[in-house]
Structures are given as structure tokens and as C-alpha cells.
Structure 1
Amino acid sequence: MSITTLALTAELPGLGESLTWSQLEAWAVAMREELPAAALAAALEDLQDRLIDQVCGRKWLPVRDLPAPFGCPGCGVMSDFARKGRRTRLRRFDTAAGVVHVQLANVGCRSCGRVFAPLLLLLDLSGKRRTDRLMIELAELASQMSFARAGAIAAAFGVPGSPGRAHAAVADLAPMLDGIGCADLPQAPTGADVVILDGTGMRASSRRLGVNCNIALGVTGRTGSRRRRQAGTVLLGLTLAQPWTTMADQLRGLHPPTVVVVDGEVAITALAESVWPDVPIQRCWWHLPRALRWALYADKAPHPWANAKRGELVALLRGVAREHLSHPQALAAYDAFCATVTAEGHHAAGELLAGARDQVFTCLRPEVRARLAHLGGPELGSGVLERVMRELNARTDIGGSRWSVEGLRDLITVQLARMTNHPAWTTLQQSIRPPNAIAFNITTAKFNAG
């Protein structure tokens, strides 16, 4: 184990010489921006010098046939290398610690004559200017704010960031998250007790209405205090600018859930019935009153009466939950409400309520409640997924920007992987952000001590 010693010199004025706290803090911030990169560059050059001495011998006393911890990229030989000097141009690396400049030393293979830099070979930096850790940190910032803002924040902390670099980081990171949308891969989730299906529109392509982003989210548990429960979620399916039927291949490889929550859209319900024909479907309690209001609008019902009926349905659903009604009791109350709507001759609203009858109180079935007791009860709506989609819309709908489909797919892949702690994201984080294993010590010299 080698030891590298670095020295820091600072010329500080005295406290009586108009020195303020703001000046001291500005000095510390300037060191934060420059010191880590300078320390990394010095350590790399020190390690490089020791490596060259190890495989080639001392500068003025070369030794033949010394073994090396690397192989020649030309012929694969792992011994007998010669010094070939240093490159005159500094090699730049954009890292999470800042911009690092290193003067690379070359060696030559005596077997095939290949000249290369062993430092790049050992650290797997050949052909790279940006490190993987900087890529994932820029992409993580860019998934929460605009590319310009992400680049500005990174630059404020001494990290080489810009809008273009943040955009490129997202584009490079998304293909590495290969477990998203592929249920057959080893690191992909295998299923969840509750699956919520819903979609949202996004500004992409040349279409005026944009494209649909369809998501299948699984609820696996709840943690936290009673007043602040937090749902544990997994991303099970994701499609962009494609119909709901294309998600069937992603869902068929999953274990069947206990219940599927839908918003009432025909395509979503058809997907759930085709993939899991034996799994009960729960109609979202928030979407149903909203759909009733639109159906009454299509029936040209008077607006005050339609709004009152929507309020009655909301009160009915809340009363069912508050009074702990059984499944038959809830259906009886629901049928009585439906009769008041159909009596007025509103056909669209009547068909909507009749079609939702078998799904609206699935959450009250005893067998469903028993299987979901460990979650604190069954899901009544798609609120968990709605919050996720609002986060996506808040990121993508910035300044009326319009995305390409490919760029939008990369962004939402990174954002959903981060928000749901997808196994592909966790694995990538562990490999690129390992805990520090290099011990260091900061020593402050004390004069006249004792």
C-alpha cells in the first residue's frame, strides 16, 4: 500500500486586516471547486510514476522482462515493456470531482512495438473524457430540472456541467438501464400485489396533442407513520408513443397480482383482462365521478343537475368507506344511485355506471381484503401513479418545450428508474458509486505546542 502526500498552502491575512467571514467562506468555496480535482490529478501522476518504475525499472536503470499487471492491447504480452516518454498534451478528464488534467506516460511493448498509456488501460479510461460517475450525477440532476438548470447547479459546485453535457448524460445513461420494460431480464421486478395502469400525455413529436406515456406501477408495501404513509412501488411496464396493447409483452412475464386498478379507459381495461383474465379489476374512485360528469355533458344534462349528481356519487363512495359497508350493501346503494340517473333518460351516463358496477367495489370483496391486509387495505384509486405522472409532467412541460420521442424516452426512463428505485438503477448506483475505501488523513501543523 503506497502513501501519497499532498501539501496545501494558503496566504491568509490577519483578523485585524479587514478580514471578513464572507472572504473566508469564498476561499473555502474556491478550494471546494479546485482542490479535489488537483488532489486527484496529483495522486494519479504519483501512481503512474510508481507503475512505470514497477514494469520498466528506474529511469536511468531499465530492466528487461519485468512482469506487469496489464497486458499489451496489441499482442496480450504481460511483461518486457520499455519507457516511451510522456505525452506533451495533457489528458483531460471530466469527473465528479472536477476537471482533472494528467500528463500520461507511455510504454512500448518489445514484442509487437505497440505504444500505449498503461494508466488508461488499468483504470478503463481508454477513449473516455467523462467518467461514469459524472454521467450518473448529471443525469440525476437533469431528471429533476431543466438541462440548463442542471448544468448550472453542477458548475456551481465545481463539477464540469453544462446544458449539453447534462443532455448527453441522460442519453448515455438510459440505454444502461436495460431492465426497464423488459420483464425477462434477471434484474427486472417479478410482480406486485397491486398493479396500477394509467397514462399521461406529453409534448413530443410533431403531433399537436403529443404522445401518450403509458405506465404500469406496482404497489409492494407501505411504510412510515400512520399519518404519513409512504407507498413502496416498482416499475413494471413503460411504453411511449405506443398503444396499450404493446405493454402486454412486458406484463405477461410477471406474477399475477391480487388486484388491478384502472381508470375506466376501454383500452386499459382490455389490456388487464387479456393479460390477467382471472385477476379482479378495481375502478378508480377518483376517475369514476369525473367520467360521470363528462358522460352527463355528452347527454346534454343541465349543468347544475350534473354537478349535483357528481357530488352525490363522491359522497356515496366516501360513505361506503366511512361506514365500512359490506360488498352487497355498497352495491345496493350504488344501484339506487344509478336508478336516479337512468330515470332521467341519460343513456351515456347509464352505460358508464352499468359498465363500472362489477369493478367499483372490488376493494370490498372479503378475499381481496384478506390478501391485501399486509398493505393496510386494498387500493381505491390510482393516486399513487397519479403523483408519479405529475412529477413526469412537471419535468417535461418546461416552457412549452417539445421533445423528440427518443429524447423523451431517455428522460422518463432515467426519472422513473430513480423515483421507483428500480433494480437496474440500484445496481448501476452500486457499481458506479462505491463507498470510499481509500483512507486519508488531514494533518494540521501546530507550532509551539505543549
Structure 2
Amino acid sequence: MPVTTLALTAELPELGGSLSWSQLEAWAVAMREELPAAALAAALEELQDRLIDRVCGRKWLPVRELPAPFGCPGCGVMSDFERKGKRTRLRKFSTAAGVVEIRLANVGCRSCRRVFAPLLLLLDLSGKRRTDRLMVELAELATQMSFARAGAVAASFGLPGSAGRAHAAVADLAPLLDGVGRPDVPGAPAGAQVVIFDGTGMRAGRRRLGVNGNIALGVTGRGGPRRRRRATTTLLGLTVGQPWSAMADQLRDLRPPAMVVVDGELAITTLAQTLWPDVPIQRCWWHLPRALRWALYADKAPAAWANTRRTELTDLLHRVARERLTHAQALAAYDAFTASVTAEGHHAAGELLAGARDQVFTCLRPELRARLAHLGGPELGSGVLERVMRELNARTDIGGSRWSIEGLRDLLTVKLAQMTDHPAWTTLTQSLRPPNAIAFNIKTLNFNAA
């Protein structure tokens, strides 16, 4: 394999004089920002010169009918090219190593007289000013902080970053994640044993209260230490500014799960029952006491009494889990609590508790517990998805800013694909971040060497 040698020179003062560690560190930081792009540009120009010599012959000694590793974009022939000089203006590429400037060399096809730069063809850079890896780097930063901050952080490490570039990176990357919300795409998730539905309000669009971001998350496994086990999840569905029924197209072709977890919202429950009528539904144990508090508020119950009932329901659910009550025992305790509420004439609260009765203790069914034993048992609530949505809100609710619906959807697509290691995200990043296979080293001349 041919070796490309790049010489690095630096004018360093002697130790013991004016040289300090801060100066050396500043030199290294400057190299970190400028050297990678300069080294890449120098290497590319040398490789380009070797290529031109191989397909056209040495300068002033042209050779006809030499084969080439590329084809003419005009007629497709792969031989008999001639030199056409180098372009006057430098070609600039924004890359993950910085801004690379290359003086492109042209060749001409003797068959159709087409003139082009073979380097752009071989490296698939025709028409590009920004590499795909830089797009991913900027988009990853933009999912963690504001666009302006992401651009500033990228620029501090020598990357060509700005708020506009970070914004454009997210908008360009989201369409490439075509497997998100599309089970028909090869490699997309085919389903999960446990599916959790929930939504959150976000500042987007023209409505004063914003829009809903609705998410369907699948739980596929658990790992980690015993007291800090973390769920492995996969993104199954995502809609922004649409009703829950719009998610049916994304989930219809998935295999039915073992259990669905909902927060009690009627539209979510209707969606789950429509998609998988035979799949048991679990009502979230965190949302149920909260919904009871609002139902008692609608019944105009005394605030202190309503808070006491909410605490009693929470304690009941905790006792069921702590004492490992059977399904029948849990329902008996639940019915007794419901009777204590309806005895006071609170109809809205009674309807809520009666409607949740068949779903609140689904997790206690023996056949379901056996089927989900490899996941640590059935889910009791939507806590896994709640943690995900807290991260989404932390990123999107910045200083009261208001998003466009399209921009918000792009950001959520990229961030959720990254957080859940979606196959579309994994495939894309692996193709753009291959392990380095080019060996390199740094040599210094020996002092007083012959």
C-alpha cells in the first residue's frame, strides 16, 4: 500500500526560556482545531495527483488508453482520459475534521469531451459542501442543547458549526431515519412484548396551548445492577400535532404485544383496543390517583377530603405490590375503596374508578406474569416513557421558544432514534463512523543524528 508522508513543523522555543506549559497547551489546542483539516486536505491532494498520473500518464508524457477506476459521467467509458489542469478556486468541504480546502484536478474524456473532477466521483462528493458525518455530529449536539449552543460547542472543537448549521443538520438527518414509525422498512422494529402509550404537550404551532407529541414505546429488555436496572426500549410510533388515531398506520403491522400500558386517556385506550382487541391493557398506577384527584375536583369534593382519598388509593396500590396480593384480593380491596368514594355521592370519581377496574390490576394476572418474567414482570405504569418525555421537554421547552410543527417533529425523530438506539439510527451511524483502518504515527528527528 502506498505511503503518504506529511511533515509537521513547529517553531518551539527552548525550555528554560520563555516557554511555559500554557503556551504548549495553547499550541496543542490550536493544532486540534486546525491540523486535522489541513492534514486531510494535504493527503487528498497527494492521492489526487497519484490518481491523475495513473490514468493520464505523467505530466508532459501523456499515455493513451490507460484504464481508470472511475467512469466518465457523460458516456460511462473507463479509459483514455487526458489532463485538464487544476481549478483556480479551492473547493471547500465542511467536515467533522474542520473545513477542508482542496484544489481539484480535472480530467477530460476523449470520447465525449466531458471535463470533470475524478476525486469527487470516487469519494461521492459531487454536489456536496457538507459531509454526512458532520451532519450527524451537529444533529447529536442539537438534540442535547439549543441550536446556538450546539454550533458554539462544535466551533470550539474546530468544527464548522453555527446555529443555522445545527438546525439544518437536524432537518436533513430526520428524513434519513426512514425506519422510524415505518414497520414496513427493512430492519425496523417488528414489535415489543410491552407497548407504552403516552403524550406530552409542547410549544409548537399557532395554538396558544401548543400541540401534543404522542409516543409509542416498546420495552424489549432490562439490564444493569439489581437496584438500578434500566429498561431497553425501542421507538414504535411518533406523531406531532395529530390525534392518537393517526398513529394507527404506524402500529397496525406490528405483531401484537403481551400487554399495553395506558394513562387512562380515552383516545389512547380506544387506539389500543382497536389495534389489538385481545391484548390486555394495564392502567398506569401513577396516573390513576392523579386522575382521581381531578375527578373529585369536578365533583366539587372538599379539597382535604379529596387529597386524603388520593393518598388512600396510592397506599392501596403500594400495598398490593408490597404484600403481593393476588388478583382477586387486589380487586376486593379496590372495590371497597370505590364504595367508600361513591357512598359520598361523587359520581365522576365513581365512574373513573369503575371504568379503570378491569385494567388497574392486569399486571397481577399469573399468565401475564409468567409470559413477561424475562422482563422482570409486567409494567405497573408508564414510568419508562415518562423519563423519556422529561428529556424531550427539557430540550424543547427552552426560554419559552415556540417551534414549528415540522421542526419539532424532526428534532423528536432524531432524539428518540438516538435515545432508543433505533435500527435506522444504528445503521446510519455505523456507516458514517467506521473504525479507522489507516495506520499513522508521528516521528521526530533524533538530536545530532547523522
| TM surpasses 0.5 | yes
Report the AA paired with residue 269 of structure 1. Answer: T
Aligned equivalent of 1:195: 195
- Output the CA distance in 1 between the equivalents of 2:440 and 2:298: 71
Which residue identity lines up with residue 285 of structure 2 in the other structure? W
In 2, distance between residues paired with 1:84 and 1:9? 33
**Rounded Cα–Cα distance in structure 1 between residues aligned with 2:307 and 2:438:** 66
- Aligned equivalents of 1:448, 1:283: Cα separation in 2: 80
Distance 2:345 2:120 in 1: 77
Q: Does 1:119 align with 2:119?
A: yes
Number of the residue aligned with 1:323 = 323
Q: Quick check: 1:244 aligned with 2:241?
A: no
* Correspondence for 2:337: 337
User: Take 1:444 and 1:321, find their aligned partners in 2: how far apart are those partners?
Assistant: 68
Work out the CA distance in 2 between the residues paired with 1:203 and 1:144: 17
Q: What residue in structure 1 maps to residue 391 of structure 2?
A: 391
**Identity rate of aligned residues, in percent?**
83
Q: Which residue of structure 2 lines up, in the alignment, with residue 106 of structure 1?
A: 106
**Which residue number in structure 2 is paired with residue 52 of structure 1?**
52
* 5+ long unaligned stretches in structure 2: none
| Aligned twin of 2:369 | 369
Write the distance in 2 (CA, Å) between the matches of 1:18 and 1:386: 57
The C-alpha deviation readout for 1:204-242, integer Å capped at 9, x for no partner, is 111101111110000011000001101000001111111
How far off is 1:126 after superposition? 0.5
Question: How many Å apart are 1:12 and its aligned residue?
Answer: 1.4
Amino acid of the structure 2 residue aligned with 1:276: W
Q: Which amino acid aligns with 1:40?
A: L
Amino acid at match of 1:73: P
The SS at the match of 1:282 is strand
Residues in 1 aligned to 2:140 and 2:194: alpha-carbon distance in whole angstroms: 28
Residue 210 of structure 1: aligned partner = 210
Question: What is the aligned partner in structure 2 of residue 233 from structure 1?
Answer: 233
Q: Which residue of 2 aligns with 1:436?
A: 436
Tell me how far apart the structure 2 counterparts of residues 187 and 212 of structure 1 sit (CA, whole Å).
28
Letter in 2 for 1:208: R
* Secondary structure, counterpart of 1:398 in structure 2: coil
TM-score (norm 2): 0.99
Q: d(CA) in 1 for partners of 2:291 and 2:44?
A: 64
- Structure 2 counterpart SS, 1:227: helix
Pairing of 1:138-149 with structure 2 (within 5 A): 138-149=138-149
Equivalent residue, structure 1, for 2:424: 424
Superposed CA RMSD in Å reads 1.0
Q: What's the offset of the Cα at 1:354?
A: 0.3
CA-CA distance at 1:15 after TM superposition? 2.5
Listed as ranges, the gaps of 5+ residues in structure 1 are none
How far residue 445 of structure 1 moved from its aligned partner, in angstroms, is 2.3
The residue aligned with 2:21 is 21
One-letter identity of the residue aligned with 2:427: T
Amino acid at match of 2:378: P
Q: Helix, strand or coil: the match of 1:257?
A: coil
**After superposition, what is the alpha-carbon deviation per residue over 1:94-121, rounded to whole angstroms, capped at 9, x for unaligned?**
0000111000000001111110000001
Aligned partners of 1:310, 1:174: CA distance in 2, in Å? Answer: 42
CA distance in 2, matches of 1:190, 1:211: 28
- Name the TM-score, length of structure 1 as normaliser: 0.99
Counterpart residue identity of residue 19, structure 1:
L
Question: How far does residue 446 in structure 1 lie from its aligned partner after superposition?
Answer: 2.3
Q: Which residue number in structure 2 is paired with residue 273 of structure 1? A: 273
- 3-state secondary structure, aligned to 2:227: coil
- What is residue 260 of structure 1 aligned with on the other side? 260
| Distance in structure 2 (CA, Å) of the matches to 1:170 and 1:409 | 10
